[in-house]
Amino acid sequence: MDRNCDAFIRSNNTYDILIARESLEISDDRAECIQNIGEKFVAEYFDRDEVPQLSIRTYGYSIIPKCFGLLDTLALETTGILQLQNQPALSLRGQGIFIGFVDTGISYELPCFRNADGSTRIRSIWDQSIPAGEKNTPQGFLYGTEYTQKEINEALEQEHPRELVPVTDEDGHGTMLASIACGSEDLQAGFTGAAPYAELLVVKLKPAKPYLKDFFYIPQEMPAYQENDVMAAIEYLEETARKLGRPLILCLGLGTNNGSHSGGSNLSELLDDIAGRWRRCAVVATGNEANARHHFYGKSDGNSMVAVEVNVEQRMRGFYLELWASAPELFVVAVRSPGGTLMPAQNVPGNSHQEQEFIFEGTRVEIDYAQVGRTRGDQLVFIRFENPAAGIWTLYVNPSTTITGQFHIWLPMSGMLEKDVVFLRPDPDVTLTVPSSAKIPIGVGGMDQKSGILYLDSGRGNTIASVVKPDFVAPAVGVQAIGRLGNYVTLTGTSAASAIAAGACAQIMEWGNSRGRRLLLNSVQIGNILIRGCERNPDVSYPNTAWGYGKMNVYDALMKFYGV
């Protein structure tokens, strides 16, 4: 490992560029360091002083890493998980299964991640945020520090474990998800994770670089993580499970509103590849955007424009919107300020750039038009508002080439905006976050397990490629978890639902690989088993954009598999 690459990669003076090997995007020989991410992707790192300033028109949309945020804002009984744990003929608790977490870290020293003898159930941790020193980075990776199970156990024998293994979880989100999915049973507190005998593989993501947060106008204090780091983390989990010959369940409680929501992003493509492999299953939360008023759906008759009103509550540093239209649809956009000044639409909607200063408002607006994606070529209209004035900004979406006339616009998801910015006529559908729009992973929405109703913020489908999402819903409101300090807390959000579902998938994977069974299970097979066992209201039509195929019940799913 090149120690200089570790420092160079984590520097804010370094641009990160994400490239698909088979795309038309050309690798640049000015890259100082190159990180391979599986067989299809590479991340290249450039000195910012040696390359052009970051922009859509210079670099393209796909190769700029997107920023991902955390999806959080009683449970196990309603899902059938406890029945599978306690049913004598099954007793499924995740034995022999890896559950992988890509998140904010883990409080590894807590009892909930240990065996009865005090040893750790964590097989390895890759902390991307700790610079490589005397310790090694994982094989095949250029940055961060890896800690093995042996090193973690040695640390646990010390009075101060973090002097040997300094991994922390300042936010607590990663610790909570891991405890929900596979925390050890605590009879006195009445707590157990869904798969308490599973082993853990953990990646602590390094924070997104300040320059990238500035580009997307994300407040610097908000947790955010880069697409290339998330992809490298997933590849690390896959490689570790492959080397050790173990089944892997991947739990992902991160998301973004960036992208077409068609399942065509770089991260979605990587997840589809891994989630479709045998003895692999990926579980992704659908986010909490249904009521955030961050999605607009429009349809033109082919002749008239569609007015889209965006309310900016207070003047702010900036924000952006992404308009997406499925090929071969093409649109052009005009912008009217709160004071009535018009930025006219250009005539040609091809790959082009347009900008204007709104003098009276003190606002600068830039519009980039592009066709994005190697497999779809959808239209993207990326609109940046710099120093926007408060008030109602109106977009006039004019059809250029249309068949269906349909388009979607997304604002950044909650937590990624400095101030409140909303659509005045929002649409709660297609509010699932990326990468839950990927085709093969299991997309999990949320429900209130006490009342049995939908968790109202739960991200909804379907994808704009008409793939049914969510696949189903799981408990997401007030889910009991263990915090980073070892205290019992509750977590609300679809990330909690994804952790419960990941534990259920570990139970099914254990069932398929125990007692002489050698079933070749992956995300598709496990998803179908769970879908067949979902609880459904006879008065509701399924699948639908809110519930998917219904409420997850893993016990009923296996009973139906047996014909019971």
Q: Show the 3-state SS of 273-335.
A: HHHCCCCEEEEEECCCCCCCCCEEEEECCCCCCEEEEEEECCCCCEEEEEEEECCCCEEEEEE
pLDDT: is 136 or 446 the higher one?
446
pLDDT at residue 91, rounded to an integer = 65
> Over the stretch 333-380, which tens digit does the pLDDT of each residue have?
999 999 999 999 987 667 889 999 999 999 999 999 998 877 778 999
Q: Which two tokens stand for residue 563?
A: 């014909």
> Which CATH architecture fits 295-423?
Sandwich (2.60)
pLDDT at residue 425, rounded to an integer = 98
> Is pLDDT at 564 greater than 50 in this prediction?
no
Closest CA to 183 of 266, 256, 107, 288: 107
**Secondary structure element (H or E) that encloses residue 527, with its range:** helix 523-532
> Over the stretch 54-96, which tens digit does the pLDDT of each residue have?
999 999 899 999 999 998 764 445 555 666 666 666 667 778 8
Model confidence band, residue 136 (pLDDT cutoffs 50, 70, 90): confident
> Distance between CA atoms of 155 and 163, rounded to whole angstroms?
8
Contacts of 154 (CB under 8 A, 6+ apart): 164
> Distance between CA atoms of 382 and 364, rounded to whole angstroms?
14
Domain positions in the chain: 3-69, 75-290+434-561, 295-423
Supply the DSSP string of 459-470, one letter for each residue: -----TT-----
* CATH number belonging to the domain at 75-290+434-561, selected among 3.30.420.40, 3.40.50.200, 3.30.43.10, 3.20.20.210: 3.40.50.200
The three state secondary structure string of 154-181 is HHHCCCCHHHCCCCCCCCCHHHHHHHHH
> Is pLDDT at 122 greater than 90 in this prediction?
yes
The answer to whether 35 and 142 are in contact (CB under 8 A) is: yes
530 three-class SS = helix
pLDDT at residue 74, rounded to an integer = 44
The arithmetic mean of pLDDT across residues 15-27, rounded, is 74
CB atoms within 10 A of CB 526: 28
Longest dimension (CA), the chain: 74
Q: Residue 337 corresponds to which amino acid?
A: S
Closest CA to 561 of 84, 75, 86: 84
Q: Residue 30 corresponds to which amino acid?
A: R
> Distance between CA atoms of 341 and 384, rounded to whole angstroms?
17
pLDDT at residue 1, rounded to an integer = 43
pLDDT at residue 30, rounded to an integer = 79
> Is pLDDT at 143 greater than 80 in this prediction?
yes
Handedness of CA 450, 451, 456, 460 (dihedral sign): positive
pLDDT at residue 412, rounded to an integer = 98
pLDDT at residue 24, rounded to an integer = 44
> Is pLDDT at 537 greater than 90 in this prediction?
yes
> Over the stretch 397-435, which tens digit does the pLDDT of each residue have?
999 988 999 999 999 999 999 999 999 999 999 999 999
> Over the stretch 41-58, which tens digit does the pLDDT of each residue have?
999 999 999 999 999 999
Strand partners, 544: 548
> Over the stretch 494-534, which tens digit does the pLDDT of each residue have?
999 999 999 999 999 999 887 667 788 999 999 999 999 99
The arithmetic mean of pLDDT across residues 148-176, rounded, is 96
The arithmetic mean of pLDDT across residues 542-547, rounded, is 97
Model confidence band, residue 561 (pLDDT cutoffs 50, 70, 90): confident
Closest CA to 413 of 284, 525, 257, 236: 257
Are 75-290+434-561 and 295-423 in the same CATH fold?
no
> Distance between CA atoms of 323 and 410, rounded to whole angstroms?
7
pLDDT at residue 184, rounded to an integer = 94
The pairing of strands 472-475 and 442-447 is parallel
The arithmetic mean of pLDDT across residues 433-451, rounded, is 96
Residue % of the chain over a pLDDT of 90: 83
